[in-house]
């Protein structure tokens, strides 16, 4: 008889309900904290990526200045390195098929390794970021910016002259930008530049 009386006694049910509600509230608070921390981490990653992406865009600008100058540009207040000037000069004036041996006209020419200076044509330091640029394909044109011939010509126009169709050179570049303090912060860009 005492056993059935103990089972019918409901004096501890309030404690069980409070414990269950506390567990549900704890799980909800844990999920809220997890979502807040995850959101903060994602926002931080997006911020770091946008910084390294902007550095990559700055590296593209430096590379286009280098192409426009025929490989002779030096940028003000920027640490730039060109490991192989002869290869870069050949890449800027010749089609890919006419590049000298060893200048990257192979199936692995698209790969940039920041620790191997034979895999990129130029590096530029922009703040805390280093940007590596490599010309991987060239389609030679007939409209380069030769300083002596820009906006002038070597012959005067007559009515019997046949104008030459303008065809710009097209350069395909690979760009790797990476933080100098945290190498896991990096971005890669593929750029087609017409000059």
What backbone phi and psi angles, to 5 degrees, belong to 16?
-65, -40
pLDDT tens, 79-113? Answer: 788 888 888 888 888 888 888 887 766 656 677 87
Structural domain boundaries in the chain: 41-194
User: What local confidence, expressed as pLDDT, does residue 167 receive?
Assistant: 77
Strands (E), the chain: 79-81, 122-126, 129-139, 170-179, 186-194
Contacts of 177 (CB under 8 A, 6+ apart): 52, 53, 55, 56, 59, 129, 130, 131, 132, 186, 187, 189
Q: Identify the band that residue 33 occupies on the pLDDT scale cut at 50, 70 and 90.
A: very high
User: Please, what is the average pLDDT of the chain?
Assistant: 81
Contacts of 164 (CB under 8 A, 6+ apart): 142
Q: Identify the band that residue 8 occupies on the pLDDT scale cut at 50, 70 and 90.
A: low
For the purposes of burial, counting CB atoms within 10 Å of the CB of 55, is it exposed (0-12), middle (13-18) or buried (19 or more)?
buried
Least confident of 71-75, 120-124, 143-147, 165-169: 143-147
CB atoms near residue 173 (< 10 Å)? 23
Least confident of 7-16, 43-52, 96-105: 7-16
pTM of this prediction? 0.71
User: What local confidence, expressed as pLDDT, does residue 119 receive?
Assistant: 84
pLDDT tens, 135-181? Answer: 988 888 776 544 444 444 555 555 655 666 677 889 999 999 999 99
Q: Identify the band that residue 34 occupies on the pLDDT scale cut at 50, 70 and 90.
A: very high
User: What local confidence, expressed as pLDDT, does residue 57 receive?
Assistant: 93
User: What local confidence, expressed as pLDDT, does residue 142 receive?
Assistant: 74
More confident site: 128 or 154: 128
């Amino acid at each position: 008889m005492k056993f059935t009386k103990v089972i019918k006694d409901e004096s501890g049910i309030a404690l069980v309900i409070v414990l269950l509600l506390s567990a549900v509230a704890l799980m909800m608070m844990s999920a809220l904290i997890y979502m807040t921390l995850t959101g903060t981490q994602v926002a931080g990653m997006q911020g770091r990526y946008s910084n390294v992406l902007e550095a990559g865009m700055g590296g593209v600008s430096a590379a286009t200045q280098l192409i426009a100058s025929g490989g002779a540009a030096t940028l003000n207040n920027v640490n730039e390195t060109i490991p192989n000037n002869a290869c870069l000069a050949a890449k800027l004036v010749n089609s890919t098929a006419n590049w000298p041996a060893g200048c990257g006209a192979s199936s692995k020419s698209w790969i940039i390794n920041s620790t191997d200076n034979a895999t990129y044509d130029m590096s530029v330091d922009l703040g805390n970021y280093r940007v590596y640029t490599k010309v991987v394909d060239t389609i030679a044109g007939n409209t380069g910016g030769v300083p002596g011939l820009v906006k002038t010509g070597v012959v005067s126009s007559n009515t019997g002259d046949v104008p030459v169709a303008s065809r710009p050179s097209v350069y395909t570049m690979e760009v790797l930008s990476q933080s100098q303090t945290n190498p896991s912060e990096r971005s890669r860009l593929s750029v087609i530049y017409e000059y």
